[in-house]
Structure 1
């Protein structure tokens, strides 16, 4: 076939196929996220200072730093995310190979025996050679598929970073919860010792008739209540210990066990400092700070490229092929004969029972799903930041009120002791003051834990110091 004939066939097939090529529509307008102009009630948070990548160092606890390093190295979710990146990279190589010529070596060997005019004859043949084929990417179908694979690789890398950030935040929150339970348990154990002294004193006073058995039973009941709390806190501490170990490789990991023994043996809840509220910056900058937003955006771009590739499938595909080799056959006394062929083919879809249209419609629906998924991630990101900023203010106010109440109740307990020792009040008044002071001590610790947990959540909501990689190719249209 001459080049002129080939061009004529290609043009005719293109005209026939183009009649059925669907148009690509834009993503639904409702999928576009609304970006606020500023954070409500946060005029002081408009600074542009970026969150540091090692944001957990702001808590000033060296043991926390070591837990974070161990989680980044051994957490199972992080390792699985890294394996998904390797898979996406391999898929990119696979998509790129489709646009390159395919060359294969062949060596067909055959032997046979047949009956002919001269009787039985045996035939043996060998034909070593090379075969090559190449699909010409006239309509950018293959390049669109490769671009989609490239974008999916970048989305997978962003997903790996999002998983790493989530694991880091979870590890920090688990460590803070462990320290909080240690502090609560220490306060409860200290209260148990004071209640035991009170019970011994009440026993002596009952024997001499100074107080009634009612007051003695009240003191004993208060002791049992706090001892029960000690058991509850001890159980919660053990469960939290296992949870933290699970984040860094499990209870069987020797490095994790060694770090846990060191953590339980030294340090305290007071060693975890409450960092200043980081700058949230402008809301629009959040789109470049969070890896989950980048992942959703890249997945949307990849779905656009895939949709364009499905549209190109309606157009003719041109494939060139060639082969060359030697033919060795016993009929020629095994003298090699050179054989070759060159050709091309045009595949123009005319009727396929709606298969191509169904694939295009599915790709279009997948693009719309990706657009809505991107909108959902952005909306959640804004809510995360705004909620953490509001919580930081309210929790600080609650903690300050609780500390003031603790100071007042400490003085109240002193007054109750003085009144009891002077004979102006019963021992039940002192017991009530002890109970109130213990409750507020636990509340102060829990509020400080809530502040620290919220600070971690705010760092995570702001992207944890992650920045969008500089080169992110857009989907071709």
Structure 2
């Protein structure tokens, strides 16, 4: 077979300049990264989801299937021993024509062993082992996705709870403003214009409450589905602004990404494709196998049993197969190239997701800080506008503008806080399950 162009090596995927490698491959994944948020209710929800979801059970069954295939591949390298025990008897005829009872075939033992001189079976076993590891990576990918989905869903639910609380607080303030506007209009102190404006703002805020309640109900149902349960009310823990966010260290080792189960799965799939290609190439070479048998022959003609044994070797080599073996090798080579490209893409995607998550944590935090300042300023402006309106120094429209601005800023602040927490979840997922002090003790940014 002619030379083939080499596919892109998976090891050629270079991390960004801001990363340095320090951990070896196979570092364990932190299985409890969601505890970093400090909410026991979230921890319980994740545990329920991991225990009940069907997707994780299906992935675990695929792992067992791959392990069974590995045992089967390894069994092909061991000697095969069998036996026979005929249960029928008969008669033998002597040269003189005198029949006699005999047992022509007695129990015998047979054995065969493939020498595997060119590594066909060994490479097939290594390919099966890599496939088993890849299936474990696929299972861990599902597990990480379920935990991240539950964390995102819970954070979104707490954000909707806070939006509902903001809507209700604003509605209470608008109701008080409407009461004052109605009293001032009834006494003739102001015109009905201010009364109608107050009524309009009250109704506009009133419709926010059922909309927020509907969103909460739908989010609870979606989270129940992730938990593998029927739609029901979801328990609440800490409010959104009390969930802890651990500090991100200055240096994160690039080899943390190798703990990502999807990247590990792609890596092992590439290894399996390499081993399958080697096995397919070895199948084109001669195959040597040893066979043997041993037993006894019993007969009434003989005074004593006769021991019988055979030992031989078979050499099989393809002479003409219509190109079947060569085509199988080409298929294996093409699949190996596809696995190399898939691994390269998975590695580049991992780098992108980490950078996106880091940027999300940083930028959403800056946005939340700015919105917090805006909320404080608008709250002070609303107090001033309300005092001036009640004292008769300004029109009601000034108070309405301050109320509208404050409501919009408060809702935006809630969303920014939820986005920041969700960015932390994305970072945990992108890093394959988070990080620890030990992971980064020997690393630093260049």
Shared fold (TM-score, shorter chain, > 0.5): yes
Instruction: State the partner residue of 1:447.
Output: 416
1:14-163 maps to which residues of 2 (within 5 A)? 22=1, 25=4, 27-29=6-8, 33-39=12-18, 53-107=31-85, 128-163=107-142
Q: Structure 1 404/219 Cα, relative in aligned 2: closer, same or farther at 3 Å?
A: same
CA distance in 2, matches of 1:405, 1:245: 36
Instruction: State the partner residue of 2:93.
Output: none
Instruction: State the partner residue of 2:290.
Output: 320
Tell whether 2:282 aligns with 1:309.
no
CA distance in 2, matches of 1:343, 1:23: 36
CA distance in 2, matches of 1:236, 1:103: 67
Q: Which moved more, 1:206-215 or 1:83-92?
A: 206-215
1:280-299 maps to which residues of 2 (within 5 A)? 280-283=251-254, 285-299=255-269
Q: How many angstroms does 1:109 deviate by?
A: 5.7
The answer to whether the 8 A contact 2:296-2:308 is kept is: yes
Q: Which moved more, 1:296-305 or 1:443-452?
A: 296-305
Q: Which moved more, 1:80-89 or 1:142-151?
A: 80-89
CA distance in 2, matches of 1:279, 1:241: 37
Tell whether 2:369 aligns with 1:400.
yes
Tell whether 2:174 aligns with 1:195.
yes
Tell whether 2:200 aligns with 1:231.
no
Deviations, residues 112-167 of structure 1 (Å, cap 9, x unaligned): 9xxxxx9xxxx998764433322221111000100111112122222322322222
CA distance in 2, matches of 1:278, 1:189: 39
Instruction: State the partner residue of 2:387.
Output: 418
Q: How many angstroms does 1:319 deviate by?
A: 2.2
Look up the SS of the partner of 2:68 in the other structure.
helix
Q: Which moved more, 1:27-36 or 1:270-279?
A: 27-36
Gaps of 5+ in 2: 91-96, 437-446
Q: Which of 398, 407, 410 is 1:429 aligned to?
A: 398
The answer to whether the 8 A contact 1:180-1:445 is kept is: yes
Instruction: State the partner residue of 2:150.
Output: 171
The answer to whether the 8 A contact 1:104-1:131 is kept is: yes
Q: How many angstroms does 1:23 deviate by?
A: 6.3
CA distance in 2, matches of 1:351, 1:220: 92
Under a length normalisation based on structure 1, what TM-score does the superposition of the two structures give?
Answer: 0.79
Q: Which moved more, 1:416-425 or 1:73-82?
A: 73-82
Look up the SS of the partner of 2:150 in the other structure.
helix
Tell whether 2:245 aligns with 1:267.
no
Q: Which moved more, 1:87-96 or 1:342-351?
A: 342-351
Q: Structure 1 321/423 Cα, relative in aligned 2: closer, same or farther at 3 Å?
A: same
CA distance in 1, matches of 2:144, 2:198: 49
Tell whether 2:340 aligns with 1:371.
yes
Q: Which moved more, 1:165-174 or 1:453-462?
A: 165-174
Instruction: State the partner residue of 1:221.
Output: 200
Instruction: State the partner residue of 1:349.
Output: 318
Under a length normalisation based on structure 2, what TM-score does the superposition of the two structures give?
Answer: 0.84
Tell whether 2:211 aligns with 1:241.
no
CA distance in 2, matches of 1:24, 1:465: 43
Instruction: State the partner residue of 2:441.
Output: none
Q: Structure 1 298/77 Cα, relative in aligned 2: closer, same or farther at 3 Å?
A: same
Look up the SS of the partner of 1:410 in the other structure.
helix
Deviations, residues 409-463 of structure 1 (Å, cap 9, x unaligned): 1011111111211222232321221111111111101000111111111122122
Q: How many angstroms does 1:177 deviate by?
A: 0.9
Give the count of matched residue pairs.
425
CA distance in 2, matches of 1:269, 1:223: 27
Q: How many angstroms does 1:26 deviate by?
A: 6.6
Q: Structure 1 31/96 Cα, relative in aligned 2: closer, same or farther at 3 Å?
A: closer
Q: Which moved more, 1:188-197 or 1:64-73?
A: 64-73
CA distance in 1, matches of 2:69, 2:156: 41
The answer to whether the 8 A contact 1:149-1:302 is kept is: yes
Instruction: State the partner residue of 2:330.
Output: 361
Query: Over aligned residue pairs, what C-alpha RMSD do you find?
Result: 3.3
